[in-house]
A and B are shown apart, each in its own frame.
Chain A
Amino acid sequence: MAIKTEPFVLNLGPVHPSTHGVFRMRTTLDGEVVVDMEPVFGYLHRGIEKLAEERTYTGVIPLTDRLDYLASMSNNLAYVLAVEKLAGITVPERAEYLRVIMAELQRIASHLIAVGAFLNDCGAFMTPILYMIREREKVLDLFDMVCGQRLTYNYMRVGGVSHDIPDEFLPALDKFVRRMPGFIDEYDRLLKENEIVLVRAKGVGILPKELAINISAGGPVLRASGVKWDIRKADPYSVYDRFEFDIPTGTVGDCYDRYRVRIEEMRQSLRIINQAMEQLPAGAVRSEVPHLIRPPVGEAYAHIEAPKGELGFYLVSDNSIAPYRCSIRAPSLINLTALRDMVKGWKVADAIITFGSIDICMGEVDR
């Protein structure tokens, strides 16, 4: 005699310890197996694009900090690149190198949280994330030294960066860069061949290569599915074409591949920071730009390789002091397009891990 079961709608609600922010998944379950899933967005929709239309070009920079709040330097960088493209402003060499150093340090800090939260979801309750926050605190101390803030920096400006680094920054950065590979090795020793991580993450939540390209995925999600596409190499911005680094890619596109890609990217970021520190020239850190920037009529799009994917800003100007339209291409929102396909047929716990491995930030998804 077969037991009749009915599908059950479970709300993995906006307030949940592992939804990485306020994200809601309406899952239809048959027992423990996910049959269908509908994501609900908008719980953090703050109207940043509309607010940007009533602020000056420089005044939008603090708003961009709060988009992907774990990678504020990258958001600032993408936005000021777009304004500089629109207004035709060049940036001094020293500022370019400082921007690269900050962006790569930010990548390390963001990936530490991404990997830590993913392992938290896997079940290693707080240990990996506490270890990684310990390292992240070192990066945040460096940022604190430079611009006085720990989370939302507002450091980049149109035409350069807001001020020069203090004298104690470079020795501290050197010390960090020399010690960090040892810490990454420590994580690998504990987690890379760990049975539980392998069983939980290998083969789970697979994103095939064709689907990844079709949904316009970006960043580690795209690279873990086997596509070697990194904007720092394909369309270099700032001074990235002067550095040597590799692009780690995965093969299968499961959660384990995404986790490995992020760890390897951290090592590559350290390589870039080393090279940038050696090549750092002296000079001005900001070019002469009027206080109220008034770009000519036109439009510009600038994109960077943010830790979460391709972050792009599309700015339309009508020769006034505020942008006419500031549109943000948010990588986290677009990476989530295939979540339903990745999660169908798996159990609830796997759904949580898959969602965690995509690594989103709700500030960016909802804007």
Chain B
Amino acid sequence: MKKKILEIKDLKVSFSLNNKKGNAVDGLNLDVYEDEILGLVGESGSGKSVTAYSVLGLISEPPGKIESGKIIYNGTDLLKLSFEELRKFRGSEIAMIFQEPGSALNPVMTVESQLAEVFNAREKTDGKEIYEKSVELLSQVGIPDAGKRIKEYPGSLSGGMQQRVMIAMALAGNPSLLIADEPTTSLDVTVQAAILDLMLKLKEQNKISSIVLITHNLGVVAGTCGSVAVMYGGKIQESSSTKEIFLYPLHPYTKLLLESVPVFGKQRGDDLKSIPGSVYGIYDNPPGCKFYGRCPAQKKECGVTEPPLKEIKEGHFVRCFLYE
């Protein structure tokens, strides 16, 4: 049995706007084990980013609020920590990279000084040492000519290079867990392939223990992750190993999601299955299963009570009344 590195228990995060209040994350349970890449899959509005932000204490309050739950990292409940204590966890234990590397980097600071800032926040070391460490890190993340590139400003780097710099900054604190929020969405396919390759390599080389890869792209998950959790309506709907999810999906949402994306080399010219309707906003909160309105296999009870997340096979959890 592998060790749990991160355990999210019954997390509820609400957002309020114009006197309306809704749960973006609504009773989420998620375990991240050591030495794995977990894919957190969901459409926009499913609450996947909010989950990630909650782990790092980045939910701005107001309008957001963590209502209840526990986020246990290696035995410490992160939600009980003070701001200052949490700050020490960020970067050194858990690091995060974002969708838009261009806007996550400061445009008026060189790569070198931004990296130096990360090092300085950890320990006071002398400038020469930091410089050498930085260059080493940049070459590790596959930036050619790192000694020269380190002097440049983010604006003169391409999107792919910027994301590599972000990864280098994330690695600078030597964290065990990396949360990547749609890290390749804004990048070209060839660059995306290279970044995903890099993340796999970093894990193989034990530079990082676990990665949570948040994405909407099932293709990215299939090629990279060992296990998958599918989110919808602020909840995990199904989770299992990648093999299980792609070969034997159980939840109607997962099934439809897999059938609605064109698979390269298959289904040429055929109509795709599509999910009727669209995700509703977090402020209208119907009772029952979150997918009820769009589900082709809906039963009466689905609209009344919400099914629990159940382990159907070993390690395969599903939240649906079809499996009881």
The answer to whether A and B belong to the same complex is no
Write the residues of chain A forming the contact surface with B, with a CB cutoff of 8 angstroms: none
